[in-house]
Amino acid sequence: MKIELPEHIKNLKGYKPGKPISELIAENNWEQTAILWNNENPMGSSSKAKDAIITAFEGSNFYPDPLSLKLRGKLAERLGKQTENIIVGNGSEGLLLNILKAFCSGKEEVLTSSGSFVIIYIWSQINNTPLVQIPLTADYRLDLEGIAAGIGENTKVIYLSNANNPTGAMITREELTRFMEVVPEHILVVLDEAYFEFSVTLTDDFPDGTQLNYSNIIVLRTFSKAYGIAASRIGYGIASKEIIQPLLNVKLTFEPSNLAQAAGIGALDDEQFLKKTMDNNTAGINYFYQEFDRLRLNYVPSFANFVMIDFGTKQKVDLIVEQLMSHGVFVRPLGGSGLPHCIRISVGRREENNYCIEILEQVLNSL
């Protein structure tokens, strides 16, 4: 008799990683590449984070601080909060899974948007939590009125990605405040601000979720994007202590590692690296807009470090992605987010952006 899997795991379509970039480059002998598919920081990593990791490694024979008090304290000071209002974990996606573990059971549902961060769909299935999706608006924005209307008796968690990955669209300050006013207090709103640092440099109307005075909201942020330490797996959440404490109870005891905690502390002190990243992103976003307009592409204005393009059909997307990759240009097709007719292109270094546009134009002219 074989071991049977639970139905929700048996039907799970998990993340399917491809070959490592280094292996693909070696196989294809590409002289030039543009790695623009994972919204990573093309400027490298903070040198202060690196130095902090090297120093912390000396104590790696001991378990790390399970409460991450030094990093949580530094974040609390930066945000004008108390340490009890902060939790850190293995990236914001790790915190999101812990939120579902801590707050959802039985028939309790997650309510979210279609065309959003793919991990919420995967985590909900892994946690055996029913998921309700409200379609995006015609212009690829989150339909907050539709989500509010979708609240039911089993709704326990609402997940909002702002700016939304992969569309890049944002929820304005007024829209978010109006939405929170109609959400019952017993429903937890997860506001994922993974691209916060980029968003606030691209618009003055981006709402800082940490400044909202509601007891039923948790804001998630990450060091993976703006701070350039994605491999360290470190993210954080900001909420009332009543929300933070259950998350401390369900997390892995020694999560995150001592090296990740140190990297976060070092990165917070590197304002010069952060500014360099923001300047590159703003220039890259504006360059993409200019070139996409010239190529007459249907793109969505972005408040993050990527731009989404609607090519109309999955067949066209598949062809474009295949042709781009054959020239060492890596972009993200969005079938996993329910947008198979769209492609997301991350902002890279200037030479990567230029090369991407050069090859994209060649591919489009050949169709």
pLDDT in tens, 178-193: 999 999 999 999 999 9
Q: Please tell me whether residues 284 and 248 are part of one structural domain.
A: no
54: tokens are 């090297």
Q: How far apart are CA 304 and CA 285, in angstroms?
A: 9
Of the candidate ranges 11-15, 165-169, 209-213, 241-245, the one whose mean pLDDT is the lowest: 11-15
Q: Are 183 and 92 within one domain?
A: yes
In CATH, what number is assigned to the domain containing residue 305? Answer: 3.90.1150.10
Verdict on whether the full-model pTM lies above 0.85: yes
Claim to verify: residue 24 and residue 71 sit in the same structural domain? no
Task: Check whether 24 has a pLDDT greater than 90.
Answer: no
Residue 4 in any domain: the answer is: no
Output the domain CATH number for residue 222: 3.40.640.10
Q: Is 277 a member of any domain?
A: yes
Provide the CA 174 distance to its chain's centre, in angstroms. 23
Number of domains in the chain: 2
User: Structural domain of residue 317, as residue ranges?
Assistant: 16-44+272-366
Mean pLDDT, the chain, rounded, equals 95
Range of weakest confidence among 19-33, 267-281, 282-296: 19-33
- The model's confidence at residue 219, banded by pLDDT at 50, 70 and 90, is very high
Task: Establish if 226 belongs to a structural domain.
Answer: yes
Residue 103 lies in a domain: yes
The last residue of one of the domains, among 241, 270, 299, is 270
Q: Is the pLDDT score of 18 beyond 90?
A: no
Beta-strand pair 217-222/188-192: parallel
Q: Which helix (H) or strand (E) holds 171?
A: none
Please report whether residue 7 resides in a domain: no
Instruction: Estimate the crossing angle of helix 47-57 against helix 258-268, to 10 degrees.
Output: 150
Average pLDDT, integer, range 223-248: 97
Break the chain down into helix, strand, coil percent, rounded to 5.
45, 15, 40
